[in-house]
Protein backbone atom coordinates (compact mmCIF):
# COMPACT_ATOMS: atom_id res chain seq x y z
CA UNK A 1 0.00 0.00 0.00
CA UNK A 2 1.31 3.43 -0.94
CA UNK A 3 1.15 6.22 1.59
CA UNK A 4 1.09 9.81 0.44
CA UNK A 5 2.29 12.31 2.99
CA UNK A 6 -0.29 15.03 3.60
CA UNK A 7 0.58 18.63 2.82
CA UNK A 8 0.73 21.48 5.33
CA UNK A 9 -2.80 22.47 4.31
CA UNK A 10 -4.10 18.92 4.73
CA UNK A 11 -2.59 18.67 8.22
CA UNK A 12 -4.25 22.01 9.09
CA UNK A 13 -7.60 20.75 7.79
CA UNK A 14 -7.33 17.61 9.96
CA UNK A 15 -6.58 19.82 12.98
CA UNK A 16 -9.55 22.09 12.23
CA UNK A 17 -11.82 19.04 11.94
CA UNK A 18 -10.57 17.91 15.35
CA UNK A 19 -11.46 21.28 16.89
CA UNK A 20 -14.86 21.27 15.19
CA UNK A 21 -15.56 17.91 16.83
CA UNK A 22 -14.57 18.91 20.37
CA UNK A 23 -17.32 18.76 23.00
CA UNK A 24 -19.43 21.94 22.97
CA UNK A 25 -17.99 23.11 26.32
CA UNK A 26 -14.53 23.40 24.69
CA UNK A 27 -15.29 23.98 21.01
CA UNK A 28 -16.17 27.69 21.05
CA UNK A 29 -13.12 28.68 23.07
CA UNK A 30 -10.85 26.45 20.97
CA UNK A 31 -12.12 27.96 17.72
CA UNK A 32 -10.73 31.33 18.84
CA UNK A 33 -7.19 29.90 18.87
CA UNK A 34 -5.12 30.09 15.68
CA UNK A 35 -3.87 26.87 14.15
CA UNK A 36 -0.61 27.05 12.24
CA UNK A 37 1.29 24.26 10.53
CA UNK A 38 4.97 24.36 9.60
CA UNK A 39 7.36 21.64 8.54
CA UNK A 40 9.48 22.17 11.68
CA UNK A 41 9.62 24.41 14.74
CA UNK A 42 11.91 27.40 14.36
CA UNK A 43 15.53 27.11 15.47
CA UNK A 44 14.75 29.63 18.23
CA UNK A 45 11.96 27.46 19.65
CA UNK A 46 14.06 24.30 19.41
CA UNK A 47 16.97 25.98 21.20
CA UNK A 48 14.69 27.43 23.89
CA UNK A 49 13.10 24.03 24.52
CA UNK A 50 16.40 22.16 24.12
CA UNK A 51 14.85 19.80 21.58
CA UNK A 52 15.84 18.28 18.27
CA UNK A 53 13.78 19.12 15.15
CA UNK A 54 12.06 15.73 14.89
CA UNK A 55 11.20 15.60 18.61
CA UNK A 56 8.60 18.39 18.62
CA UNK A 57 5.28 17.54 16.95
CA UNK A 58 3.27 20.46 18.35
CA UNK A 59 3.39 23.53 20.54
CA UNK A 60 0.92 25.80 22.30
CA UNK A 61 2.04 29.43 22.12
CA UNK A 62 -0.08 31.57 24.39
CA UNK A 63 -1.28 32.11 27.92
CA UNK A 64 -3.31 29.19 29.31
CA UNK A 65 -6.89 30.09 30.16
CA UNK A 66 -6.21 29.31 33.83
CA UNK A 67 -3.57 32.07 33.90
CA UNK A 68 -5.35 34.79 31.89
CA UNK A 69 -6.46 38.01 33.50
CA UNK A 70 -8.48 40.97 32.25
CA UNK A 71 -5.46 43.08 33.17
CA UNK A 72 -3.07 41.22 30.88
CA UNK A 73 -1.73 42.92 27.80
CA UNK A 74 -1.95 40.31 25.02
CA UNK A 75 1.41 39.37 23.51
CA UNK A 76 -0.31 38.04 20.40
CA UNK A 77 -3.00 35.56 19.51
CA UNK A 78 -3.02 32.17 21.21
CA UNK A 79 -1.70 29.72 18.63
CA UNK A 80 -1.46 25.95 18.35
CA UNK A 81 1.46 24.95 16.15
CA UNK A 82 1.68 21.57 14.47
CA UNK A 83 4.95 20.46 12.93
CA UNK A 84 4.36 18.35 9.85
CA UNK A 85 7.68 16.54 9.40
CA UNK A 86 7.94 15.27 13.01
CA UNK A 87 4.26 14.21 12.83
CA UNK A 88 4.93 12.33 9.59
CA UNK A 89 8.04 10.75 11.10
CA UNK A 90 6.06 9.56 14.13
CA UNK A 91 3.28 8.27 11.85
CA UNK A 92 5.77 6.24 9.80
CA UNK A 93 7.56 4.90 12.89
CA UNK A 94 4.35 3.87 14.67
CA UNK A 95 2.67 2.28 11.68
CA UNK A 96 -0.38 1.51 13.82
CA UNK A 97 -2.41 4.74 13.61
CA UNK A 98 -3.90 6.80 10.84
CA UNK A 99 -2.48 10.22 10.09
CA UNK A 100 -5.87 11.70 11.01
CA UNK A 101 -5.75 10.05 14.45
CA UNK A 102 -2.19 11.21 15.07
CA UNK A 103 -2.92 14.80 14.02
CA UNK A 104 -6.05 14.77 16.21
CA UNK A 105 -4.03 13.52 19.17
CA UNK A 106 -1.31 16.17 18.80
CA UNK A 107 -3.97 18.86 18.29
CA UNK A 108 -5.90 17.86 21.41
CA UNK A 109 -2.68 17.68 23.43
CA UNK A 110 -1.78 21.26 22.49
CA UNK A 111 -5.30 22.52 23.15
CA UNK A 112 -5.13 20.88 26.58
CA UNK A 113 -2.27 23.28 27.31
CA UNK A 114 -4.50 26.16 26.18
CA UNK A 115 -7.10 25.02 28.70
CA UNK A 116 -4.43 25.03 31.43
CA UNK A 117 -3.37 21.38 31.68
CA UNK A 118 0.28 20.55 32.32
CA UNK A 119 2.11 17.71 30.54
CA UNK A 120 1.79 15.70 33.77
CA UNK A 121 -2.00 16.31 33.86
CA UNK A 122 -2.31 15.18 30.26
CA UNK A 123 -0.12 12.10 30.78
CA UNK A 124 -2.23 11.04 33.76
CA UNK A 125 -5.25 10.46 31.53
CA UNK A 126 -3.68 9.99 28.08
CA UNK A 127 -1.63 6.85 27.56
CA UNK A 128 -1.09 7.52 23.84
CA UNK A 129 2.70 7.93 23.95
CA UNK A 130 3.41 4.87 26.12
- For the chain, what are the domain ranges? 8-64+78-125
**Global confidence as pTM:** 0.87
Q: List, for residues 71-126, the tens digit of each pLDDT value.
A: 666 677 899 999 999 999 999 999 899 999 999 999 999 999 898 887 787 777 66
What pLDDT, in 10s, does the model give residues 27-61?
A: 888 999 999 999 999 999 999 999 999 999 999 99
Q: How many C-beta atoms lie closer than 10 Å to residue 110's C-beta?
A: 23
CATH (one of 3.30.2010.20, 1.20.1250.20, 3.40.50.150, 3.40.605.10) for 8-64+78-125: 3.30.2010.20
pLDDT at residue 73 in the model: 67
For position 1, what pLDDT does the model report?
45
The 34-38 sheet, strands edge to edge = 34-38, 79-83, 58-61
DSSP state of 74: P
Higher confidence at residue 63 or residue 40?
Answer: 40
Amino acid sequence: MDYIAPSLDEIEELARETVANLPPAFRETAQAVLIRVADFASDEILEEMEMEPFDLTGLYDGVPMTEKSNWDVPHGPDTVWLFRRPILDEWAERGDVTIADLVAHVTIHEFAHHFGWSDDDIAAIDQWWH
